[in-house]
A and B are shown apart, each in its own frame.
Chain A
Amino acid sequence: MRATAWTALGDETAEDVASMDTTIREILADSGWLAVDVAALSDGDDLYAAGLTSHGSVNLMLALEERFDIEFPEQLLRRRTFESIAAIREAVTGLRNGTAGA
């Protein structure tokens, strides 16, 4: 799981990935959008099954944009982009590397 995620990360180092994961998990934990403890979720777990609603996912997006200083383009504004911590990390990484939505 980790290894495959890394290969897709381009310039990002292992350290960046770890800190991004921590930040994403912090946002999720602080938000109260999930019905379960974030610590109990693995990177690939379905966030919608964990209680994320469409209303919650909009606020998650806004929090990610603010924290990572990015803007999600229209083609990433779909359910799949926010379905797991791994998917969010991939989208954020892509946006920071300028390869998003490809």
Chain B
Amino acid sequence: MSPPLLRRARDAGLDVAARHADAVDRDARFPTEAFAALKAAGLLGAMVPRDFGGEGATLADIAAVCHELAQHCPSTGMIYAMHQIQVACVVQHGQQSAWHRTLLERLAAEQLLLASATTEAGIGGDVRSSSCAVEASGGRFRLEKNASVISYGEAADGILVTARRTPDSPASDQVIVAVLKDDCRLEQTVGWDTLGMRGTCSMGYRLSAEAGIEQILPLPYADISARTMLPTTHILWASMWLGIATDAVGRARAFVRSEARRKPGATPPGALRLAEATTMLNQMRASIVGAVRQYEEALGDADRLTSMGFAVAMNTLKVGAAQTLVRIVEQALLVCGLNGYRNDSEYSVARHLRDAHSAPLMISNDRILGNTANLLLVHKDTMGLFG
């Protein structure tokens, strides 16, 4: 019997991901070593149900792993989160289809890594619109997508791609198809030389795929998005961001402690800001725990998962967590001062700060606030304190 999930994640994080985090960041390269360790520890297929050879891990389990990994290497944490979002879609919506049941078995047995191609050039970041379309004929389909971002596309074993259902479908009538490495060709169009999150290798590609129509997930993407992709994305991203915040606050705490030891009796000036940062950290953690609980209570209930109240709850989690992360890391930087600003100090939060600034931009907070604002025109908050 293997050790619990979180123990294995901690080992892989501490022993491998942490050791290569600087190189991954500096060279903007895929965290190869960390993913070899995660595969060896069986962490990639952990969410696959036991019937298909997985461990049947819950979203809460996976969120805890994202939080752990991001403390050591945020790019590793983010790639792990993005992979598990795709796995969750197949677990929740693929079990009625023979092809996807086989995919689930392979995810567990071979620890395949899944990426996603949802954004498209010319659409402007709206993942609920596609211009490319599935062109089916004789049991096969062809699909060409000018994907503005496919994170870690070249390292992935498969990609979940959104597209219009048919060439005649409106932009919002989308399906999601699972294509494997051998089914598709990627031609890079845009590089990934960014401020932070450099190891996610979120390059743009022209994707050409040809595969069997049975690889199209049966449920419309609109439902898959509302019921699974949207909530798991916001929960796992927020959990991973909490990992960045946790490590930044940990460094600030270590700095304050070293100051206090040097001058016993006098509370260091940064101690108050550390207390503030810790307050925000606990708020952030509580908002994630609350959202996970809401998701788990709604799981399997399509009406609840597609309700406006649920969408508003998940939207606000994302916006709040992204904003809070940036504020926490900024606070940690003020605590550590120049020692935090340096790249070569044990109290450095420079990478944390660069990575944190990606959070409000990944599915732009402004877009999500706009969507929430629209929902609030009709949504009524009828929730009690405990849901």
Contact = CB atoms under 8 A, between A and B. Distances in A.
Interface of A: 34-36, 48-55, 58, 61-62, 65, 72-75, 77-80
Interface of B: 128-129, 165, 169-173, 220, 222-223, 226, 302-304, 306-309, 311, 371, 374-375, 377-380, 382
Contacts of B377: 58, 62
Given A55-B371, A58-B375, A79 B226 contact: yes
B379 A77 contact: yes
Nearest to B165: A49
B128 A77 contact: no
Nearest to A56: B172
B353 to A, nearest CB: 34
Contacts of B129: 53
Contacts of A49: 165, 169-170, 173, 220
Given A48-B173, A49-B169, A53-B172, A72 B378 contact: yes
B136 to A, nearest CB: 16
B128 A53 contact: yes
Contact of A61 (B309, B311, B378, B382): B378
Contacts, number: 67
Contact of B378 (A50, A51, A77, A79): A77
A62 B371 contact: no
B374 A58 contact: yes
29 contacts: A34-B170, A35-B170, A35-B171, A35-B172, A48-B172, A49-B165, A49-B169, A50-B170, A51-B172, A52-B172, A54-B222, A54-B311, A54-B375, A55-B374, A58-B374, A62-B377, A65-B378, A74-B307, A75-B307, A77-B309, A77-B378, A77-B379, A77-B380, A78-B306, A78-B307, A78-B308, A79-B222, A80-B302, A80-B303
A51 B165 CA distance: 12
A48 B171 contact: no
Nearest to B223: A79
A102 B382 CA distance: 17
B380 A51 contact: no
A80 to B, nearest CB: 6
Contacts of B306: 78-80
Contacts of A80: 302-303, 306
B37 to A, nearest CB: 40
A32 to B, nearest CB: 12
A91 to B, nearest CB: 13
A77 B170 contact: no
A49 B222 CA distance: 10
A53 B223 CA distance: 12
A89 to B, nearest CB: 18
Contacts of B223: 79
B380 A73 contact: yes
A20 to B, nearest CB: 20
A74 B308 CA distance: 8
Contacts of A62: 377-378
B134 to A, nearest CB: 14
Contact of B382 (A51, A65, A74): A74
Contacts of A35: 170-172
Contacts of A50: 170, 173
Contacts of A36: 170
7 nearest A-B residue pairs (beta carbon): A35-B170, A51-B170, A79-B306, A77-B308, A78-B307, A53-B172, A74-B382
A92 to B, nearest CB: 14
A55 B308 CA distance: 11
A89 B129 CA distance: 27
Contacts of A54: 128, 222, 311, 371, 374-375
Nearest to B126: A53
B45 to A, nearest CB: 31
A73 B382 CA distance: 10
Contacts of B304: 78
